[in-house]
Structure 1
Amino acid sequence: MWNINKIILTQQELLTNSTELYLHTKDHSLTKQEFSLNINKKFDLLITEPLPENLEKYYEFDEYISHTDNNKSLIDKVYQLVRNYTLKKKFKLINSQNTDTKNILDIGCGTGDFLSTCSKNKWKTIGVEPNQKARDISITKNLVVKEKLEEIIEIGEQYDIITLWHVLEHVPNLIEYIDQLKRLLKDNGTLIIAVPNYKSFDAQHYHTNWAAYDVPRHLWHFSKTSIQKLFFAFDINLVKTLPMKFDSFYVSLLSEKYKTGKMNPITAFYIGLKSNLKARKTKEYSSHIYLLKKAI
């Protein structure tokens, strides 16, 4: 166990110690603008530089898939297929946790499919989704969804389960956000976080074209070590790590498009499979789910 002694007091401290270049990449999806990924070695964390002030403009394109229910292109179809499968897995995961009142907060709930599944199975649900288009879709599914986390804090409740499915990498104010999550979680509650893993084989294979870097929408790029160390600094302990095996196939499909201009589904499937097979030994999957609890 590390003796961190709460050295992350501000986000500025995290940024100040992240000046060594890891690689250059670009916004493949929209602007083609180049960005640097700098590494904070103490926390094994990559940080997108520069951090854009007008971040919202980088989400303003119709193809941003988590904000729509589209099912037109090959990417859409693969995404929807994987999402439908993982919804069942996610719900099974939260049901496996011991909870008092079965209330759940889903941050970055997108179009509300996961929350809708929970609600239909007698969970008390509430969500956060900053994107108005996605939020409007989720509200049509009879869900309570707020625009900002601050609105949830104002309610004054704590939650048995808090989930962030591929969300933490997007938040500009990482240190403040972790502190807010701690305040919102019950003492015996479970925080569930899913994020890409930049140490996976598919990340190493595609390098600057790895789709899960997704700069600048992804501001932080985590490893298993960085999640454990960052949350330990807030007295939140990592208790379990689970693989997201389907992510390697979807990410490889997008990465092939960025690398060659074509989907190349056969090559993408091969790289995704190879990534998962290698991860059986290295335990470095394309994405991981982390289960965390407060230190009591």
Structure 2
Amino acid sequence: MTKLYSNPWKNKVGVKSELKYFVRNKFYKWLLRKYCKRCKTVIDIACGPGQFMKTAASLGFKAYGVDADERYKAKNVIIGDLWKVKGKYDVVFNNMIIEHMNDQEKFIKKMSQLSNNIVITISAYASKSFWNVPDHVKPVTKISVRWLFRRCGFRTLLSMHIPFYQAVVVVSKKVTDKDKDWESKKIRKGFW
């Protein structure tokens, strides 16, 4: 069998790391089943060891990743600069990346270029421990991520805090002409 991703827990042992892996895996499956029913391809931005890719592949998705770190080189992983990645994918996933970006709107626009449909963003929320990571440059909130996605042509399907993960997740869908028509009718009726 061809290696699609590296083993995220190869050097980690113990109940805590296994529990984190299990919980994340269940959560990823729930997100994919609920919001990506008609999707076939996913790309994980800054995929690292590939946990999301492995989960998506186990559900029948064609899973790809991109990472700058040579350690994560594998068959379906593009090693290199995110800004040079081309192609279209049904789902674009990024986990704990946006808070590292100086220009978060540019990052979301890149996600839009890669996405045919859905973008899933998981981000560390601004807490005291947020600044313990030296390269966290811009904290985000559930509202700020939703606002950024809206500015870049997306509609929010899910926006929630994940306490066990100390994060916020936002699932967004590209706005189509049909969606724009629906929103304008909604505004006229006063339900916005």
Q: Tell me which interval the TM-score lies in, with the shorter structure as reference length.
A: 0.7 to 0.9
What's 1:276 paired with? none
Residue 295 of structure 1 pairs with residue 175 of structure 2:
yes
1:105 aligns with 2:38: no
The equivalent residue for 2:11 is 70
SS of equivalent to 2:163 = coil
Q: Quick check: 1:197 aligned with 2:115? A: no
Q: Determine the structure 2 residue equivalent to 1:24.
A: none
CA distance in 2, matches of 1:127, 1:69: 19
Query: For residues 244 and 235 of structure 1, do their structure 2 counterparts lie closer, same or farther at Cα, with a shift above 3 Å needed?
Result: same
Q: Offset of 1:99 from its aligned partner?
A: 4.6
Structure ranking higher on relative contact order (CA contacts 8 Å, 6+ apart): 1
Q: 1:150 aligns with which of 63, 76, 83?
A: 83
In the alignment, structure 1 residue 86 sits paired with structure 2 residue 27: no
Instruction: List aligned pairs for 1:1-296, cutoff 5 A.
Output: 69-72=10-13, 78-133=16-71, 135-136=72-73, 139=74, 142-153=75-86, 157-186=87-116, 189-198=117-126, 203=127, 207=128, 210=129, 212-247=130-165, 286-296=166-176
In structure 1, distance between residues paired with 2:30 and 2:52:
11
How far did residue 109 of structure 1 move? 1.0
Cα distance in structure 2, aligned partners of 1:125 and 1:104: 5
Change (3 A) 1:173 1:159: same
In the superposition, the TM-score normalised over structure 2's length comes to 0.76
What is the CA RMSD across the aligned residues, in angstroms? 2.3
Report how far residue 87 of structure 1 moved.
1.1
- CA apart distance, 1:173: 3.9
**Cα deviation 1:175-209 (Å, max 9, x = unaligned):** 321111111111xx1111111222xxxx3xxx3xx
Aligned residue pairs: how many?
169
Structure 1 residue aligned with 2:4: none
Flag the 1:120–1:143 CA change in 2: closer, same or farther, 3 A: farther
Gaps of 5+ in 1: 1-66, 248-285
Aligned mates of 1:70, 1:116 — CA distance in 2: 17
1:37 aligns with: none
Distance 1:100 1:239, change over 3 A: closer
Identity %: 20
Q: TM-score, normalised by structure 1?
A: 0.51
Shift of 1:70: 2.7
Q: Say which SS state the counterpart of residue 229 (structure 1) adopts.
A: helix
User: Kindly tell me: are residues 83 and 68 of structure 1, through their superposed partners in 2, closer, same or farther at Cα, counting changes over 3 Å?
Assistant: closer
Unmatched 5+ stretches in structure 2: 1-7, 177-192
Runs of 4+ in 1 over 6 A off after TM superposition: none
Q: Is the contact between residue 99 and residue 160 of structure 1 (CA under 8 Å) also seen in structure 2?
A: no
